[in-house]
Amino acid sequence: MAVRNNTEREEELVGAGARLDVEKFLEKCRMNGFQVAHVQSVEALVSVLADWASGWGVRKIVLGGLSKQLAERIRGEFTGREYMVLEIGGVEMEIEELRTGSLGVFRANAGIKETGGLVIFDNWASNLASLIPEYSVALLEMGEILQDYWMLAHLIRQTRPGGIAIISGPSSTSDIELTHVVGVHGPVGCGCIVAGLELDE
């Protein structure tokens, strides 16, 4: 992953005059249909995940694109809570396993404050965890929130990702009589947790 150094990123953004306004970002995400939380510790993060998983009725947690340390912390915290925790590894896994009754937890590379979007660069495991399961939750550090698309354009030019996904809500359609329905091909529900700590240490 090219963009992970939070301190460097924060310096760059602050240097560019950006206001890291987490609450406004989360408000925009909420308007887009995300569940949102702002946490200060891994324990709190896991607690939010467990609450949401319970609310959505899922018992399978699928981790994708998280650092080894963070994945281990989450797995550890969930041990003994009657959840199955899987990790999308470096080899091809049976994709069907990810699909039903699961919550994908993935690492987003950036958030867009103006539109309430979450960005994934190049990470195929994050991509799968955000797309295939019935529910998905993005993990993001405070310093990774960008003001708008044009800051993202700057980041794209710097890092040259091969693939990008910008997620701004659950999978949805209004194709039948303009009735809004969620969960067409991607997740039925989604969440975003912004952490006030370095997630990858």
Partner 1 sequence: MRGSSSMSRSRVLGALEKKWEVETRWRSMLAMHLKSREGMARLQQKYLEGVFESRKKSVENLERLVALTIESVKREGGNVYVAKTAEDARRYVASLAESRGVKCVIKSKSMTTEEIGLNDALLSQGVDVIETDLGERIVQLAGQRPSHIIAPAVHLSREEIARLVKERRGADLPPQPEAITRFFRQDLWADFKRAEMGVTGANIVVAETGQAVLVTNEGNGRLVATMPRIIVSIAGVEKIVETWDDAFNVLRVLPVSAVGRDATSYITVIGPRGMSRHVKVPEYHLVLLDNGRTGASNDPWLKDALRCIRCAACLDVCPTYRILGGHVFGDIYSGPMGVPWTAITKGLKDASEIAKYCVSCSLCLHVCPVRIDIPITISWIKHASGGKTLRERILTMYESYAVLGSRLPRLFNWLQGSRVSRRLMEGLLGIDRRRLMHRFRGGNLYEILGEKYLRRRSADVVYFPDTYAAYMDWSIGLLAVRVLEALGYTVAVPRTYGSGMPSIQYGFLSKARKVAEKNVEKLKSYAENGGRIVCSEPTAAYCLREAYPKILDTPSSRRVAESTWELTSLIAAESKTLSPSTRQPPNTYVFYHHPCHSRLLSPGRPSEDLLKRIGMNVATVDYGCCGIAGTWGMRRGAEGFLISAEIGRRVAEIILGTGCMEIATESSVCAQQLRQFSGLKVRHTIRYIAESLGIQSREEVVLNF
For the chain, report the end-to-end CA distance as a whole number of angstroms: 14
Q: Does the footprint of partner 1 cover residue 17 (CB under 8 A)?
A: no
Q: Does 36 bind partner 1 (CB under 8 A)?
A: no
Please identify, among the stretches 4-12, 44-52, 70-78, 164-172, the one whose residues bind partner 1 according to the rule CB under 8 A. 164-172
Does residue 128 touch partner 1 according to CB under 8 A? yes
Report the amino acid identity of residue 127: N
117 interacts with partner 1 by CB under 8 A: yes
Min dist CB 83 to partner 1, Å, is: 24
Q: Tell me whether residue 152 or residue 195 sits nearer to partner 1 (CB atom).
A: 152
Secondary structure, 3-state, 70-125: HHHHHHHHHCCCCCEEEECCCCCCCCHHHHCCEEEEEECCEEECCCCEEEEECCHH
Of 83 and 147, which has the nearer Cβ to partner 1? Answer: 147
191 binds partner 1 (CB under 8 A): no
For residue 127, the SS3 value is: helix
Near partner 1 by CB under 8 A: residue from 114, 197, 198, 200: 114
Give the Cβ contact number of residue 82 at 10 Å.
Answer: 7
| Chain CA centroid to CA 77, Å | 19
CA distance 70 to 12: 24
When asked if residue 168 is in the footprint of partner 1 (CB under 8 A), the reply is yes
**Residues near partner 1, by CB under 8 A:** 28, 32, 90-92, 95-96, 99, 112, 114-117, 120, 122-124, 127-128, 131, 149-150, 152-153, 156-157, 160-179, 181, 183-187
